[in-house]
Structure 1
Amino acid sequence: MNMTVLARLLTLSIRLLASGGSKLLIMLLVTTPGAFAQGHFKNYFEKKFPQDTVDIHSGMFTTYTHSDKYYWEIPVKLFGADILVTKTALKAAAQAERPTDGLYGFANDMVEEGVIRFVKSGNRIDCLEVFNGISNTPKDSELTSLYRQKNNSGRYLSIPILEEKPEAVLIDVSNLLNQETLFTGLALRHGRDFNISICHPEFSSILEIGSNREDILFIRSQRAYEPSRIPSEIPNAMNVRELTMWQIGTALTLLPRTPLSFRKWDPRVEYFSNTYQKCDNNIYTTTIKVAKRWRLEPRPEDFERYEAGELVVPIKPIIFYVDRQTPEYLRQAFIEAVDSWQKAFEQAGFKNAIKGEMMPAHKSDPEFSIDDPRISIISYNVSPRMNARGGIITDPRSGEILSGRVSIFHSFLDLIQQWYYCQCAQVDPRIHEEIIPDTLLARIAKFVVTHEVGHSLGLCHNFIGSSAYTVEQLRTPDFVAKYGTTPSIMDYTRFNYIAQPEDKMDSKLLSPNVGIYDCFAIEWGYRYYRHHANSDSLLKEWVTQQQEQRELRFANNSGIDPEVQSEDLSNDLLAANALGIENLKYMKSNEPLWRSGEWANRQIWINRQSWMEIQYNNFLTQAILYIGGINTLTQQPIPIRKQLDAIEFINKYAFSSPEWLFGNHRRTSSFYQEIIRSLIQRCEYVQNSSERYPNNTISIKEYITVLHQTIFDRHQTDRSREILQEVFCKSVLDAMKNSDSQYMKMLWRCELENILDEARQKHFNPQHGQRITDYIKFCMGK
């Protein structure tokens, strides 16, 4: 709207007021010079409210407001159009407690509600919720189209038409917006996630409605909710249910007329996915799994250059905006985390396809709204939750990713400091300090954000990535500088704990980064095919060829393969973790030199001790996975020698006086209980493996025998070993009692009889042997 038109409108308004007549004063909500509210139903409101003011708000639907009454002018051209409904917490309530995962309920959190259509039915407008489980491909059969017509939507509500014109219809949506509905409420479908329940309308209201674009409408409201759970720490909590106040932004977004073409999901390059059903051959049984991905396409004039291998700029690059609540020292690291994916998109043929930017200053960019589901944001949330999350908003019809929503929780900074200390203190003296430099913290935070952005690009965790490289390679700076610490940052990889002081590894090389698998996966998801008909077969053949390269393989963490687990590193886990444990011993022995002795910093070292114990346990439990393990790539059991090596590893690094870390026998006993429990739980895996591969793996009898020989080693007679043996006896008794297998009960009973027999033969210290004998006999009722 130019200034001349605005001046004429203001003049007209003044004349109307001065006339004192019964004409209606229509006020336009002009948010920007481009506002376009026209209003085809002014005459209707002149008659209905002759003495009152009615505001007109522009947007996808022109909205008329009068007091607490709201009316939508729905253009005829939008009848049957697909509209995505999303909700965003513009301002979130502070909560003493959150749901178990604690990942939702913060400002900038966005959730999908689904797709709706407005359809004219006689003298009413039906709002339909669209069922998107049916394929939208061009080759759909006639039966698919028929099924969609009859079954793909449910009527959410039906509203009478107040007045109708060739261009549009007018409906009253007051009840729709003033009550807890799909268009305003957050508790109906997301109450558990946000810890809210009953809405109190007397404290709720519409704050703003409209937009300056014809493809979206924003409805911003204040809502008052009771919490779904009462904080446990509040005295007399049964009588306390204080209201929580929220500002919620609902966006109605017009989806593209043509959905993104499907890319069939491939388990060898796993993306998040949607599953659709097809009606083929008159039978409603066929399903198709589709990867969730962004719409990244060359400009039409660049098609030939793109297909010739030249890098081109996509029509719509991916932009992630960094929350201005992010501390200053972290902002550039977060931007660089986004930019680090650029090389992956270059492999897919695009340059400048993704970038990070700071969120625009308040109202400096009228096109920017955090409740717009097409805008990607990296939010910084103040929370005790030590985590981060990479979410996506999608078009349910096709799996097209419309935006990414990355949430970084403040306390994750403490988490990554602990990881870095436990894994890199042997090579980076800066982490010896009680307060580490901001520059270091920003650098190690970058990889977490990079990982979460990967999720927002559609990528799933690839737990096999970190086991691709050898220990020697990961100790070689030139190799790490070229290939990184892992082929995939989408693994649960932390830092390079294999690096040793003599390796002279630059600290910049200790963190993971976007690797060759990640580039391969992005190319699979985003390589553009102008002619889509044969793209799936081309991609399938291409992936098959690439699978010959170990670094380009994908695997989920199944709990049976020692090379496919979280927080591991290298293709020789036992050698790598031996170095990791030696690092912990180095840290523990030098801790007195690093501590300042100031009382205020005492908690820092208490926390570091706790995390060293967690890291130590991780090193050991990772090794235990070899026992009864299966290689997921070859579908063969882990070699017997490797399983026995794992037991010897546990004997050397867990069973041989771990007081260097725990300090006393009481805490050592608790530690042994966890390790023995894990070893006994592996019996199920050993038995399953031996039944499936009877000639290629250890049997359950052999496993129990090796455990016995290891734990009751006559050359180990210190008090720590006695505690281990006592814990083992108790654990075997528990296993015998709780097992559902009569065969296992028999094996455990035989093991206990064997221990009693050795005690009678005085293989143990007399007092220790008597304690074991008395306890076993008492529990067995002898």
Structure 2
Amino acid sequence: MILNKTSWIALAILICGAAVNAQIPKKLPKKDIVKKNNIDTLKKKTEQDTVKKSSLKDYKILLKKAKTLDGIFKVHQIETDYYFEIPFKLMEKDFLLVNKISAVPMAINEAGVNKGMNYENKVVRFQLNKLAKTVWVKTIVPQVESPAGDAITQSVKDNFTGSVIETFKIEAYTPDSSAVVIKVNKVFDGTEKSFNDVFTNIGLGTSPKTALSAIEQMKSFPQNVVVRSLLSTSVTEGQNTIAISVAVTTNLLLLPEQPMKPRFADNRVGFFSTPRWYFSDRQQKMETRELITRWKLEPKAADRDRYLKGELVEPEKPIVFYVDPSTPKQWRPYIIDGIHDWQKAFEAAGFKNAIQAKLVTDTADFDGDDVRYSVVTYAASPKSNAMGPSVVDPRSGEILESDVIWWHNVMTSLQYWMRVQTGVIDTGARKNNFSAEQMGHAIRFVSSHEIGHTLGLKHNMGASFANPVDSLRSPAYTAKMGGTAPSIMDYARFNYVAQPEDKVQHITPQIGVYDKYAIAWGYRWLDTKDPREELELQKEWIAKHQNDPLYHYGEQQSALNVVDPRAQSEDLGDNAMKAGMYGLKNLQRLVPQIKDWAAEPGESYYQAGKLYMATIWQWNAYAEHVMANIGGYYLENPVAGDGKKAYTPVPKATQEEAMTYLKAQLFNLPQWLFNPELLSNTFAIKDTPLGPFEYGPYNLKREQQYGLMYSLVGDERLLRLLEMESIYGADKVYTAAQLLKTVRETAFKQTLNGRSLSLDERQTEQNYVDVLLVSTDKLMEKVNKKALQPVKNNLPELCDLTPRAFKEQPVTNLADLRNVYINSMTRTSDVAASKRGELLKILEILEKNKTKGDEATRNHHMDLILRIRQSLKIN
């Protein structure tokens, strides 16, 4: 007989019933039956309690041999096992999980992964699950807010719940039943990746080897627990397997019970921000805001009346940065000066002594990875860069801790910039080794810039456009304004505009007018309860300066596709063509000096070759600054009533001026840049993983010219020109047709005149034809071939402090930069027709002149004819 589920249940009930009836006498008194049932119930409860207790351990026995640390919660260590004793009062509280790198091997040091880098933050909550005798850990995204009494608030809770990422078995209850003990090894020793997935986050994509990984140390403090672990993995490249061990430090930081009152962002002032969504019953749509990231600076309660009257007061809790004890002693004062330079900006916000720098006098209690400390971390690394990431409370935008990562080799970047940009006007910036004072002055500038990021400020690439070019040649103006731009958050490096005869002394960026204004806008304390109460006043602060270029904020753009020529990296002044010509004059003075400046007696010309490469790329930078005007738009963030336009094409005359510069500098590369005397001793040199590469001048000419030409007639640029033509008409703007015609007539000028061509002239024609052929082929590709992509990492964005001559790859996250989307279905636009039309016009020119000129010229023309015919499939 086969029994179904119902039959089995019925049979079980029947058997149990028979067993009970067999044990109870049929004539037992009713009161005895009740007594018997009570005894059975008590026995059953006793058995359940015994089972429950048997699954738990006695607190005192479990921790008899433990070493215990007191703090936000107790941390117990029994040999290699670690336990957290979490009080019930901390269940469901918000903790910020912060992971930092503490030590790295050479293999990833060279890739720019170093001590102090923060790679993974998330908000977590511990949740007690009594029934399962476990503690769950949930991660939440605290981006949503709604009023407690609104009906929609229940929906918000239901639709934005946390997700469980980890579970811990309860090992014991404390004797007073106020806390539970859980064993936490697995989330810190590499067994589980829920708390710390370092190898994915730094881009390796591997998992820790648990046998080679371990917890090194735990510490507990009043607001946080700090755990340091050594995690090991291996990476296979080709036939080689590389072992990699990374020390990481995880902080569990209790977030404030009451988040800081936020301040809403405005895209006319450059602050980093974190998103916030607001729901309420009164709305007709969800309110979306961005909260600026900033430190919690408030006047002391006793000083608030004085503060509101305009007196300078000290904040209740100042911002304090510690200088890493590993920092070389000669650079510490300059880094500290760079931090203290922000004092004057905070005075504009009403605070004195708001930001402080301290040396670490007691290293025994100092841990740079402890989020109680904000640290300028000095990294021994060949990387030439710096960065200033922050740990932020996402509920409010409050900066809880910041770090500046300072790579030792950043000084090489500073050295090349100063030599190339200001060496001809500053005798101290010429030799391979600068004086400590000269280098220290530059270190102070970088320190100030990076500290600006830790205060919440984004790059302001539009600041340098505020200065008239000729004013940068004025000693009085530069002394008054301080350096090269009204914001140190621009990439306005050193003053390459000033000429030797100008005697300009202030040639280094400094904290300026915009920086003081931005800090005041973001940090001035207002006695309000809700950030919405501050909005009108914030707008008034902006309106006071909305037409003053010194206060203009220009958002960073992709260096590969600049839309607004006013907001570029490493440019100076309000006219790129004029600034570029002054810069070229200084480069022309520099080239003959390269050997004397960079090659010491008895040494090789290696340093001279690298300085020469930096010089060529500086020439390239001036051309790119100029080119951005062609097809450029002036971008604004207008509000109703301010009279500004969001998109304004660069004036036609300015674009024509830019084209005149390029005709002289790009289509006829300057001979002085390829000095035969210099080239007899060294070619331009670039370091690579395979060693120094020496670039032949003919190759370098072709490479430089080709890259700039490709950008000049790039699809994005032509599409932007077409956009403005569609709005204003061809007679009022610089057009794509005008650009292509000018390029064609310039590149083929000698052929149109029927002359023999030099090697450089043939190169120009070859480059232009190839640019059109390649870009036209790409336009007509219907399906892009998939290529292997490098594993992305979740490390903070770097500042771009690598000179163009030595860059390996872009460091900016293009998704975070401002752009204008105009390239959908490019192959159906006029760009394809224009480029193919150009090729046909060039083919006609070549056919008419194919028998003219010397043999090299005729061969060159036939080669181009065959290439164009083959590409366009013309028989």
TM bin, normalised by shorter chain, reads 0.7 to 0.9
User: 1:377-405 deviations in whole A, cap 9, x for unaligned?
Assistant: 11111222222111001112212101111
Aligned 8 A contact 2:324 2:368 in 1: no
Aligned 8 A contact 1:756 1:773 in 2: no
**Cα distance in 2 for residues equivalent to 1:411 and 1:396:** 33
Q: Secondary structure at the match of 1:265?
A: coil
Moved more, 618-627 or 370-379: 370-379
Q: Describe the shift of the 1:286–1:159 C-alpha distance in structure 2 as closer, same or farther (beyond 3 A).
A: farther
Provide the residue aligned with 2:785 in structure 1: none
Q: How does 1:602-621 map to 2 (within 5 A)?
A: 602-621=605-624
Provide the residue aligned with 2:236 in structure 1: 230
Provide the residue aligned with 1:422 in structure 2: 420
Provide the residue aligned with 1:669 in structure 2: 702
Q: Describe the shift of the 1:391–1:128 C-alpha distance in structure 2 as closer, same or farther (beyond 3 A).
A: same
Provide the residue aligned with 1:539 in structure 2: 538
Provide the residue aligned with 1:32 in structure 2: none
Provide the residue aligned with 1:318 in structure 2: 319
**Cα distance in 2 for residues equivalent to 1:47 and 1:738:** 72
**Cα distance in 1 for residues equivalent to 2:224 and 2:698:** 65
Provide the residue aligned with 2:764 in structure 1: 724
Q: Describe the shift of the 1:127–1:749 C-alpha distance in structure 2 as closer, same or farther (beyond 3 A).
A: closer
Deviation at 1:726, TM superposition (A): 3.0
Provide the residue aligned with 1:751 in structure 2: 838
Provide the residue aligned with 2:208 in structure 1: 199
Q: How does 1:278-677 map to 2 (within 5 A)?
A: 278-281=278-281, 285-363=286-364, 366=365, 368-484=366-482, 485-506=484-505, 509-533=506-530, 534-558=533-557, 559-594=562-597, 596=599, 598-633=601-636, 634=645, 635-663=647-675, 664-677=697-710
Provide the residue aligned with 1:270 in structure 2: 270
Q: Describe the shift of the 1:493–1:322 C-alpha distance in structure 2 as closer, same or farther (beyond 3 A).
A: same
Q: Secondary structure at the match of 1:199?
A: coil
**Cα distance in 1 for residues equivalent to 2:411 and 2:546:** 36
Aligned 8 A contact 1:196 1:226 in 2: no
User: 1:109-130 deviations in whole A, cap 9, x for unaligned?
Assistant: 3344322223334354533324
Q: Which residue identity is paired with 2:516?
A: C
Aligned 8 A contact 2:146 2:153 in 1: no
Deviation at 1:528, TM superposition (A): 0.6
Q: Is 2:159 aligned against 1:160?
A: no
Q: Secondary structure at the match of 1:126?
A: strand
**Cα distance in 1 for residues equivalent to 2:148 and 2:512:** 37
Deviation at 1:169, TM superposition (A): 1.7
Q: Any gaps of 5 or more consecutive residues in structure 2? A: 1-56, 637-644, 676-696, 781-826
Q: Secondary structure at the match of 1:226?
A: strand
Provide the residue aligned with 2:38 in structure 1: none
Deviation at 1:755, TM superposition (A): 3.6
Q: Describe the shift of the 1:746–1:166 C-alpha distance in structure 2 as closer, same or farther (beyond 3 A).
A: same
Aligned 8 A contact 2:145 2:279 in 1: no
Q: Describe the shift of the 1:592–1:277 C-alpha distance in structure 2 as closer, same or farther (beyond 3 A).
A: closer
User: 1:739-780 deviations in whole A, cap 9, x for unaligned?
Assistant: 344744443444344444445655963445523431232120
Deviation at 1:349, TM superposition (A): 0.5
Deviation at 1:263, TM superposition (A): 0.9
**Cα distance in 1 for residues equivalent to 2:857 and 2:845:** 9
Aligned 8 A contact 1:83 1:255 in 2: yes
Aligned 8 A contact 2:488 2:515 in 1: yes
**Cα distance in 2 for residues equivalent to 1:751 and 1:116:** 60
Q: Which residue identity is paired with 2:594?
A: E
Deviation at 1:431, TM superposition (A): 2.0
Q: Is 2:89 aligned against 1:89?
A: no
Q: Is 2:736 aligned against 1:700?
A: yes
**Cα distance in 1 for residues equivalent to 2:762 and 2:115:** 55
What root-mean-square deviation, in Å, do the aligned CA atoms of Structure 1 and Structure 2 show?
2.8
TM-score by length of 2: 0.77
1:770 to 855, 858, 862: 858
Provide the residue aligned with 2:819 in structure 1: none
Provide the residue aligned with 2:122 in structure 1: 114
User: 1:581-628 deviations in whole A, cap 9, x for unaligned?
Assistant: 111110012334445553535211111011111111110011111111
The structure having more radius of gyration, on CA atoms, is 2
TM-score by length of 1: 0.86
**Cα distance in 2 for residues equivalent to 1:198 and 1:593:** 52
Q: Secondary structure at the match of 1:250?
A: strand
Deviation at 1:260, TM superposition (A): 0.8
**Cα distance in 1 for residues equivalent to 2:433 and 2:61:** 70
**Cα distance in 2 for residues equivalent to 1:314 and 1:138:** 31
Q: Secondary structure at the match of 1:274?
A: strand
User: 1:277-297 deviations in whole A, cap 9, x for unaligned?
Assistant: 222237784322111111111
User: 1:459-489 deviations in whole A, cap 9, x for unaligned?
Assistant: 1111111111101221112221221221111
**Cα distance in 2 for residues equivalent to 1:190 and 1:698:** 50
Provide the residue aligned with 2:20 in structure 1: none
User: 1:315-367 deviations in whole A, cap 9, x for unaligned?
Assistant: 1111111112222221111111111111111000000001222233421xx3x
Deviation at 1:219, TM superposition (A): 2.5
Deviation at 1:688, TM superposition (A): 2.9
Aligned 8 A contact 2:324 2:378 in 1: yes
**Cα distance in 2 for residues equivalent to 1:174 and 1:434:** 53
Q: Secondary structure at the match of 1:96?
A: helix
Deviation at 1:434, TM superposition (A): 2.7
Aligned 8 A contact 1:277 1:284 in 2: no
**Cα distance in 2 for residues equivalent to 1:137 and 1:528:** 25
Q: Which residue identity is paired with 2:414?
A: I
Aligned 8 A contact 2:124 2:140 in 1: no
Q: Describe the shift of the 1:347–1:778 C-alpha distance in structure 2 as closer, same or farther (beyond 3 A).
A: same
Q: Describe the shift of the 1:48–1:171 C-alpha distance in structure 2 as closer, same or farther (beyond 3 A).
A: closer
Q: Any gaps of 5 or more consecutive residues in structure 1? A: 1-42
Q: Describe the shift of the 1:314–1:78 C-alpha distance in structure 2 as closer, same or farther (beyond 3 A).
A: same
How many residues are matched?
719
Deviation at 1:181, TM superposition (A): 6.4
Deviation at 1:428, TM superposition (A): 0.6
Aligned 8 A contact 1:312 1:351 in 2: yes
Q: Which residue identity is paired with 1:61?
A: F
Provide the residue aligned with 2:796 in structure 1: none
Aligned 8 A contact 1:391 1:405 in 2: yes
Aligned 8 A contact 2:189 2:214 in 1: no
Q: Which residue identity is paired with 1:180?
A: G
Aligned 8 A contact 1:137 1:261 in 2: no
Provide the residue aligned with 1:216 in structure 2: 224
Q: Describe the shift of the 1:692–1:360 C-alpha distance in structure 2 as closer, same or farther (beyond 3 A).
A: farther
**Cα distance in 1 for residues equivalent to 2:139 and 2:301:** 32
State percent identity of aligned pairs: 27
Deviation at 1:302, TM superposition (A): 0.6
Q: Secondary structure at the match of 2:327?
A: coil
- Say which structure, 1 or 2, has more relative contact order (CA 8 Å, 6+ apart): 2
Q: Describe the shift of the 1:73–1:546 C-alpha distance in structure 2 as closer, same or farther (beyond 3 A).
A: same
Moved more, 484-493 or 667-676: 667-676
Q: Secondary structure at the match of 2:456?
A: coil
Q: Describe the shift of the 1:721–1:57 C-alpha distance in structure 2 as closer, same or farther (beyond 3 A).
A: same
Deviation at 1:87, TM superposition (A): 2.3
Deviation at 1:573, TM superposition (A): 1.2
**Cα distance in 1 for residues equivalent to 2:66 and 2:703:** 72
**Cα distance in 2 for residues equivalent to 1:683 and 1:767:** 36
